[in-house]
Structure 1
Amino acid sequence: MTDDRPLKGKVALVAGASSGIGASIARSLAQAGASVALVARRKEQLAAVEQDVASHEVPAVTLVADLAADGAPKDTVAAAERALGPIDIMVNNAALARTGPIHDTHPRHWRQAFHLNLDVPFLLARAVLPGMRERGHGWIVNISSEGSLLQADWSAPYSITKRALNALTAQIDLENRHLGVRAVAVLPGWVRTDLAQDPETLGVEVRDLLDPADIADVVLWAVTRPPAVSIGPLIPVRPVSRNAQTLVNWEQYLRTLRHYDTSGGHMVDVPGIPE
């Protein structure tokens, strides 16, 4: 008989859980039986996701936190573990999508992108890894982007930071998989989220895009693989439609982004970064 709650007894932390992909991942993990710590800055949106998670009759806690703040990743992990117990699955979906050409990218924006897209995942992983290594199991899942595989115009610094996130994830997996701790980066293509602004203007139908639930399904599939099965560390997830896969449309899409912060919906302010 197939277990319809394969994550029963597991504890998951989802960063960037207030909407879109992060919220869908939280719901999917809860439906599979995991207790879930929801992390983001937007309190009202988190509360709505918590209600959805709790409807699956699993423990849940919301942690309103700005992960870009000094010490926040470590403190957030500690708070989640006090509330729910040791973290078995850590999903990082918090990110800053800022795009543009190198010559027109302000150093402050460059450093903001690297801080949220690379420093924060590193600090979250560093906070959960000691416990996972000691217990001999655990999953670290970073939500990257198919854009990290493309050399596209107008993609800096977003695609560059996501490429670095892929490398970080692969390194974590290499260093820890022999202990039963694994890491994967899920690389979504074009997804129907707040970032996918007016795809019709770029010649792409909304129905051609991936749904956040598609990404959640892939994450759930990854963290329920048998211990002896090796996957990743990079898992691209692409739309079937060719219209939503072309490099031309991707570059046009990047030009619509300007900036977007999935951990809170606005530009982060990193202390110590000069104007």
Structure 2
Amino acid sequence: MTALVNVIVTLGMLYVVPAGLRLIDPARLLRTARLWPLAAAPGALCLWLPRGLPATALAALYAAACLALAARAPVLLPRTRSLTPPAIAVATALVSPSIAATALVAERAGYRLFGFDLDILALTVPHFHFAGFTAALVAGLVCRAVGGRAGTGGLARWAAYSVPAGTLLVLLGYFVDDWAELLGAVVLTGGMWAVALPTWREVRPAGADRTTRTLLATSAAVLVATMLLALWWAVGEATGITHPTLTWMAATHGLGNALGFALCSVLAWRRLAADTRLADRPDHRPRTIATTDRVETSP
């Protein structure tokens, strides 16, 4: 399981996070996105070292970068008096890597932070890179793209609230009990499915080419299966019924969310953003695009 989790986390650190930062605010986060792979390289390297001081020091360097990113959330977020659903989703995305990095430092040091097993700390790292950063970001993008459309618009706004809420509830469940974690899994699953449906029905058809539409379709379809697995595991932990092992979950739920959802989503939304910028050029023939090149955080 360790090697597979390390590959998933490395993908999140070196590509998914910086690609996602470009979608949040290209003007203000472009430099951060360009430099992020350098900041994340120590974190990726420490995954492949044995636990100890060198691995801990490298993890701490990555944690410092993640904390600096989280500190930018109040600056990047609302210049208005209210938090919109996309703004809440973006805030969750910006803060989530710092939670992942904190768990990484403790795990690399062999320290049972808050009494958690080292395996749980290790799995917290991919969870908050993907369920935290990527899922919240995509929920915000979908909410912004769908806007106030009847039916799917309300669903997308609910997703932008419930994905951050579900992620937080899962985290709190670690400290409470398995039933609290199950509640978080239910809320997060509902939020992720609420991302999938508008993606399939509204965003996917507006893709300018087959590749973009295929990436969006894949990301939406994968969520149905992977979040069912998450529910199965959470129910099993709370009730004791037969459920997948952590190793099996990493190979199915984890890998599916990392490649099928997160990677496909980020690639698709970057293509949509590029199409929008091209369409905005005065010498380009206008066409309908479902998104903008950033997540709007004000009404």
* TM norm structure 1: 0.29
| The structure with more helix, counted as a fraction of residues | 2
Q: Of the two, which has the highest radius of gyration? A: 2
| The structure with more strand, counted as a fraction of residues | 1
